[in-house]
Amino acid sequence: MIKIIAGGKKNADWVLEAVNEYEKRMRKPFDFSWTFMDEEKLEKFLNDWPFSSHDFVICCDERGKNISSPEFSEVLSKAFTNGRDVVILIGGAYGFTDAVREKADFLWSFSKLVFPHRIARVMVAEQIYRASQIATGGPYHHE
């Protein structure tokens, strides 16, 4: 199971429609759930760092490592193989503090571009689905 914690405004209908499409296709252990928080609440939540060593925390950040979809699939698969729960953090408009980035297990960059948090939510959902297809040999991903 992958838990996604996202900051910023609630999802617009178009975001929900896109994310729901990928959620419908998911199978364990790549299933995912969402928690939404306004930016101030998310910052306080992360300052208290509620995660344990059992959690593999991925922070979506433009300063992170830009990896391919197969590499992302491998990151998730390794976490599951090691018995860790995966937590993916998507920041709001102002991103994350240095302290949060330092505590995360992996900093993941989609590109050097910065994306609005709503688009990042759709991209995360799609990449989790793609990772599941790569890991299981499904037809969705093409090399």
- Domain ranges across the chain: 2-136
Nearest to 7 by CA among 76, 65, 88, 82: 88
Nearest to 4 by CA among 134, 82, 91: 91
pTM: predicted TM-score of the whole model, two decimal places = 0.93
Question: Which of the 8 DSSP states describes residue 6?
Answer: E
Is-contact 15 45, C-beta < 8 A? no
Half-sphere exposure of 95 (CA within 13 A, CB side): 15
Q: Is the pLDDT of residue 142 over 90?
A: no
Question: Which of the 8 DSSP states describes residue 105?
Answer: S
Amino acid at 105: D
pLDDT tier, 53 (very low <50, low <70, confident <90, very high otherwise)? very high
Per DSSP bridges, beta strands 106-109 and 85-90 are unpaired
Q: Is the pLDDT of residue 57 over 80?
A: yes
Mean pLDDT of 104-123: 91
Stronger pLDDT, 138 or 76, i.e. the higher one: 76
Least confident stretch, 7-11, 22-26, 76-80: 7-11
Give the pLDDT confidence score for residue 58 in this predicted structure: 98
Q: Is the pLDDT of residue 10 over 80?
A: no
pLDDT tier, 117 (very low <50, low <70, confident <90, very high otherwise)? confident
Give the pLDDT confidence score for residue 28 in this predicted structure: 75
C-alpha to C-alpha distance for 80 and 77, rounded to whole angstroms: 5
Mean pLDDT of 31-52: 91
Give the pLDDT confidence score for residue 103 in this predicted structure: 97
Q: Is the pLDDT of residue 82 over 80?
A: yes
Least confident stretch, 42-46, 64-68, 91-95: 91-95
- Topology of the domain covering 2-136: Alpha/beta knot (3.40.1280)
